Chain A
């Protein structure tokens, strides 16, 4: 063949790859990524009365309900902290997890009409959801800081700015676990839609397996292993430690979470890249 010397820019074959698009290619789609984040953010507040205020209002209302139920009615101890602050700390991190996880799952099913008409690295969509919820989270995070300051001045609660920095690894690990697990389920649920209904149920149960309304120290020894097995547990304790200066976790538990997060993210991304292309024949 005389055309052997031709160098091609790209090649399409029948084999799909685990690694998907190169970083160089992904970077060339950064405008699309940011545009999708903006689109989702704008679209979710069209024709609403309060608009982006809901980012703060919703967790606040949730927390008020939980304060009423768990604190006032059932009477679970909040370790001497104001119940509102105690629950808001846990709920803020929980929302980060559940928003990212539940947001990424329908990546394929919701975007199938777009995916079947135009090519871009598919991972851009879950990445944009991750970013979107990180933006929302940062608003909620600032709100949490304001509430903390309020209690600092009114209730004279101690704030140690040194421990506050511990919230950063907790946020990264939690977001990572949500992202990786979300990618796994986004692929599986395309094939088995009945899993979607199950996920709603599992999430509700899972919420009580996370130390949001209680602390690990309060869990009876008999069932402690179950709570510790949850890789998010130590992150919730770490996050609360960052804000309130009180939390029970060990180095081993943190390591367990971080390794779990890395495995989930790597495995999730690889599976998403490998199976994503083939799913276009299924959806």
Chain B
């Protein structure tokens, strides 16, 4: 059995809201008067003490609550959770940047954390100089950096620009150099926070590959936070899932990711009602279910711009022999309508009706979208609009292109498009 390298015992982190940066001497003098002279609770420099009475009101927030886990040597852990779940707070505590309000962490070996790309980089100085600065800040010794210098330069692919100030670098070059330094760190435990979310697809692949090498070949322990489930699935053997500061589950990567994706996306990808009484609608229409079914090659993959999306909905029609049309209206997150698609109108009788519409792949641009469904009688009389019933995100995907900026527009269709060279 591998030995435990990190043992986290019941750590909690309490943040004070608002009052932290009162910033004026007068207010704090009053505070000091209240705390030291009148013997009230003292919080002069932030939450050193835990409010004993647990008067957790709007002033306090638990960023982490009683989180415990053990990490064995050589394991690669992924941390998943929505924004504000406490992932970054946990990494910061593990990296010794902030202290927990309660609890103890014990560990063995040297930790290096990679919470940002280009920690300590100085814009005015050359690439060469910055390799040394960033390297030593991340905990490398001078000789160690010297020894790995060529490897770092080769990995970054910026040999020609080594003696140029990094402020003249393109953002891509900057990221490459910064990651190259970090990738050649040699700690026992490596902590990585979404640093891979930068750079182009090709470089991201290279980074994930490098991390994979590191973990499999040298038995390094890695803790990795990302929103990219594919990267986590690819890299991690174990996953822990945080929600609102608490540990929901931890264990085998595939199992946890599946249940994580299941709960976080059910609300927006699928809505279902068992009885007509609960179902949304009115005296004409009751909606029984709406589902978004992405046609993904891999159930863990995110929806990206290539993914065809099928919308399947079921409703009960109370009208007898009515001329009915349903429409799918797609909006951007900002509320702008992209299209309103409907089927040819026809006559339907009372009963359950199922509709299906497919948005082809290579049509939507990356972004957040929501869908409303409308039900119209006789092409003019609206019966019911089921607003914002589905919500989904489309991720970017670019393999065959060379443009890495934000792609403009709401749609990204692939029209027949050719360019011909005519010699003069």
Of B15-23, B151-159, B270-278, the stretch lying at the interface with chain A is B15-23
8 Å CB contacts to A: which residues of B113-146?
113, 115-116, 119-120, 122, 124-125, 129, 132-133, 136-142
Residues on the A chain within 8 Å of B106, using CB: 8, 10-12
Q: Is B122 touching A43 in the complex (CB atoms < 8 A)? A: yes
Contacting residue for B105 out of A12, A47, A116, CB 8 A: A12
- Smallest CB gap from A15: residue in B: B99
Q: Is A118 touching B120 in the complex (CB atoms < 8 A)? A: yes
Closest CB in chain A relative to B32 CB, distance in Å: 12
Q: Is B124 touching A46 in the complex (CB atoms < 8 A)? A: yes
Of A51-59, A71-79, A191-199, A212-220, the stretch lying at the interface with chain B is A191-199
Closest CB in chain A relative to B125 CB, distance in Å: 6
8 Å CB contacts to A: which residues of B132-185?
132-133, 136-142, 165
Q: Is B45 touching A12 in the complex (CB atoms < 8 A)? A: no
What would be 6 A-B contacts, judged by CB atoms less than 8 Å apart? A6-B3, A9-B108, A12-B100, A31-B140, A118-B115, A278-B99
Q: Does B109 contact A (CB under 8 A)?
A: yes
State A194–B23 Cα separation when bound (angstroms). Answer: 8
Closest CB in chain A relative to B168 CB, distance in Å: 12
Residues on the B chain within 8 Å of A16, using CB: 48, 99
Closest CB in chain B relative to A65 CB, distance in Å: 29
Q: Does B101 contact A (CB under 8 A)?
A: yes
Of B89-97, B345-353, B365-373, B392-400, the stretch lying at the interface with chain A is B89-97
Residues on the A chain within 8 Å of B4, using CB: 3, 6
Q: Is A10 touching B97 in the complex (CB atoms < 8 A)? A: no
Residues on the A chain within 8 Å of B138, using CB: 118
Q: Does A205 contact B (CB under 8 A)?
A: no
Q: Is A8 touching B45 in the complex (CB atoms < 8 A)? A: no
Closest CB in chain B relative to A2 CB, distance in Å: 11
Residues on the B chain within 8 Å of A12, using CB: 93-94, 96, 99-100, 104-107
Q: Does B280 contact A (CB under 8 A)?
A: no
Residues on the B chain within 8 Å of A47, using CB: 124
Residues on the A chain within 8 Å of B119, using CB: 114, 117-118
Q: Does B98 contact A (CB under 8 A)?
A: yes
Q: Does B47 contact A (CB under 8 A)?
A: yes
Q: Is B113 touching A11 in the complex (CB atoms < 8 A)? A: no
Q: Is B95 touching A281 in the complex (CB atoms < 8 A)? A: no
Q: Does A161 contact B (CB under 8 A)?
A: no
- Which one of A9, A14, A32, A114 has the greatest number of beta carbons of chain B within 10 Å? A14
Q: Is A281 touching B136 in the complex (CB atoms < 8 A)? A: no
State A125–B100 Cα separation when bound (angstroms). Answer: 23
Contacting residue for B136 out of A35, A114, A116, A119, CB 8 A: A35
Q: Does A135 contact B (CB under 8 A)?
A: no
State A6–B106 Cα separation when bound (angstroms). Answer: 10
Q: Does B218 contact A (CB under 8 A)?
A: no
Residues on the A chain within 8 Å of B215, using CB: none
Closest CB in chain A relative to B114 CB, distance in Å: 9
- Besides A9-B108, A192-B25, A281-B16, 16 more A-B contacts (Cβ < 8 Å) are A10-B107, A10-B108, A11-B104, A11-B106, A12-B99, A13-B100, A14-B103, A16-B99, A31-B136, A31-B140, A32-B137, A42-B125, A43-B125, A278-B48, A280-B98, A282-B46
How does the 8 Å CB contact mask read for A211-236 relative to B, with 1 for contact and 0 for none?
00000000000000000000000000
Q: How large is the interface on A (under 10, 10 to 19, 20 to 34, 35 or more residues)?
A: 35 or more
Q: Does A136 contact B (CB under 8 A)?
A: no
Q: Is B24 touching A194 in the complex (CB atoms < 8 A)? A: yes
Q: Does A39 contact B (CB under 8 A)?
A: yes
Residues on the A chain within 8 Å of B7, using CB: 3, 8
Contacting residue for A119 out of B16, B113, B120, CB 8 A: B113
Q: Is B133 touching A39 in the complex (CB atoms < 8 A)? A: yes
Q: Does B102 contact A (CB under 8 A)?
A: yes
Closest CB in chain A relative to B201 CB, distance in Å: 25
State A120–B133 Cα separation when bound (angstroms). Answer: 13
Q: Is A8 touching B48 in the complex (CB atoms < 8 A)? A: no
Given contacts A118-B113, A281-B47, whether A193 and B99 have CB atoms under 8 Å apart is: no
Residues on the A chain within 8 Å of B96, using CB: 12, 119
State A194–B25 Cα separation when bound (angstroms). Answer: 9
Given contacts A12-B100, A14-B103, A114-B120, whether A191 and B28 have CB atoms under 8 Å apart is: yes
Given contacts A31-B141, A32-B137, whether A117 and B116 have CB atoms under 8 Å apart is: yes
Residues on the A chain within 8 Å of B115, using CB: 117-118
State A195–B23 Cα separation when bound (angstroms). Answer: 10
Q: Is B23 touching A9 in the complex (CB atoms < 8 A)? A: no
8 Å CB contacts to A: which residues of B1-49?
3-4, 7, 15-16, 20-21, 23-25, 28, 45-48
8 Å CB contacts to A: which residues of B69-98?
92-98
Q: Does A266 contact B (CB under 8 A)?
A: no
Residues on the B chain within 8 Å of A14, using CB: 99-103
Given contacts A11-B104, A119-B113, whether A281 and B20 have CB atoms under 8 Å apart is: yes
- Which one of B100, B101, B115, B124 has the greatest number of beta carbons of chain A within 10 Å? B124
State A99–B45 Cα separation when bound (angstroms). Answer: 28
- Smallest CB gap from A31: residue in B: B142
Q: Is B23 touching A35 in the complex (CB atoms < 8 A)? A: no
Closest CB in chain B relative to A270 CB, distance in Å: 14
Q: Is B99 touching A277 in the complex (CB atoms < 8 A)? A: yes
How does the 8 Å CB contact mask read for A58-94 relative to B, with 1 for contact and 0 for none?
0000000000000000000000000000000000000
How does the 8 Å CB contact mask read for A13-33 relative to B, with 1 for contact and 0 for none?
110100000000000000110
- Smallest CB gap from B117: residue in A: A117
- Smallest CB gap from A46: residue in B: B124
State A120–B97 Cα separation when bound (angstroms). Answer: 9
Q: Is A46 touching B165 in the complex (CB atoms < 8 A)? A: yes
- Which one of B28, B45, B104 has the greatest number of beta carbons of chain A within 10 Å? B45
State A182–B81 Cα separation when bound (angstroms). Answer: 42
Q: Is A191 touching B45 in the complex (CB atoms < 8 A)? A: yes
Contacting residue for B125 out of A6, A46, A116, A120, CB 8 A: A46
State A120–B140 Cα separation when bound (angstroms). Answer: 11
How does the 8 Å CB contact mask read for B214-254 relative to A, with 1 for contact and 0 for none?
00000000000000000000000000000000000000000
State A35–B138 Cα separation when bound (angstroms). Answer: 12
